[in-house]
């Protein structure tokens, strides 16, 4: 069956059809189908893409989810706006290029932002773990949630901030910019590609371009729209066990 037909079939509210079809999708197709179902708030379709018993944690507590009916009953508690935001941002790495927000497991599974885990199941993929984040704009530094920090600017001078990241850590900074503004972001103080930055348009939830999506240490360019933007500072997997201290310089004009 062509991919387009597979994805359109997932629009059906029938959980059994969703369960069957999702088994034949590639990782990228599976994530796209999950994003579509979550955006429609299709509880049965999303429930059909889970593997049970499902591993769900929220605020440090384990939530027992033995089957699809239990998931549907707990849907609003699990599929919070923060969880949906992570799902909407999920991108499967292309051409074996690593991404700072995605961990590839030896089993062939993928972990997105330490929140969403998918793994091979019955010839396709299923969601095997969900860790409900605190807020859509939360970061994880040292394993705990941290609210986004607002950046302010002085005319003609870059703003400089510092932070520290433990393994798996993430910081987030936000600022407003007008269409056509020239943005210059530079990350220093850390070795190699152990820590990378991503730049997102908060209105769309999408990266400003491909380099800002896959992760970089330097980004310079003009912004396409007047919006609030987010800079995510993300520690990469396999970057050691100690704390890394970074410096972020952000200029806009």
Where does residue 168 fall: left (phi above 0), alpha (psi -120 to 50 degrees), or beta otherwise? Answer: left
Looking at residue 240, what is its pLDDT?
83
Looking at residue 96, what is its pLDDT?
65
Tens digit of each residue's pLDDT, the chain (253 residues): 444 444 444 433 434 444 444 556 889 999 999 999 988 889 999 999 999 999 999 877 888 899 999 999 999 889 988 898 889 888 888 766 777 788 889 888 999 988 999 999 887 899 999 999 865 433 334 433 456 888 988 777 889 988 888 888 888 999 999 999 999 999 999 999 999 999 999 888 889 998 998 899 999 999 999 999 999 999 888 788 888 889 999 999 8
Looking at residue 58, what is its pLDDT?
84
d(CA 14, CA 198): 37
Looking at residue 33, what is its pLDDT?
93
d(CA 223, CA 77): 36
Torsion over CA: 119, 122, 125, 129 (sign): negative
Looking at residue 174, what is its pLDDT?
93
Structural domains in the chain plus CATH codes? 3-132 (3.10.450), 139-252 (2.60.120.380)
Torsion over CA: 41, 130, 111, 238 (sign): positive
* Residues facing residue 184 across a β-bridge: 220, 251
Calculate ∠ Cα 104-58-118, nearest 5°: 25
d(CA 149, CA 7): 38
Cβ–Cβ under 8 Å, residues 184 and 221: no
Looking at residue 209, what is its pLDDT?
93
């Amino acid at each position: 069956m062509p991919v387009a037909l597979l994805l359109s079939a997932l629009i059906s509210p029938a959980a059994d059809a969703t369960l069957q079809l999702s088994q034949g999708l590639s990782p990228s197709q599976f994530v796209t189908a999950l994003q579509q179902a979550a955006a429609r708030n299709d509880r049965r379709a999303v429930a059909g893409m889970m593997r049970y018993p499902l591993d769900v944690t929220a605020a440090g507590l384990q939530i027992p989810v033995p089957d699809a009916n239990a998931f549907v009953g707990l849907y609003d508690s699990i599929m919070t706006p923060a969880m949906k935001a992570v799902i909407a941002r999920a991108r499967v790495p292309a051409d074996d290029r690593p991404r700072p927000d995605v961990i590839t497991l030896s089993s062939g599974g993928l972990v997105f932002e330490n929140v969403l885990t998918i793994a091979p199941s019955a010839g396709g993929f299923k969601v095997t773990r969900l860790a409900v984040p605190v807020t859509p704009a939360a970061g994880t530094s040292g394993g705990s949630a941290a609210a986004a920090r607002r950046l302010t600017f002085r005319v003609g001078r870059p703003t400089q901030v510092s932070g520290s990241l433990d393994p798996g850590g993430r910081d987030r900074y936000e600022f407003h910019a007008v269409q056509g503004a020239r943005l210059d972001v530079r990350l220093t103080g850390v070795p190699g590609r152990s820590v990378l930055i991503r730049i997102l348009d908060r209105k769309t939830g999408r990266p400003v371009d491909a380099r800002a999506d896959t992760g970089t240490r330097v980004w310079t360019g003009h912004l396409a729209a007047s919006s609030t933007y987010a800079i995510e500072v993300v520690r990469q997997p396999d970057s050691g066990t100690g704390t890394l201290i970074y410096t972020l310089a952000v200029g806009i004009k």
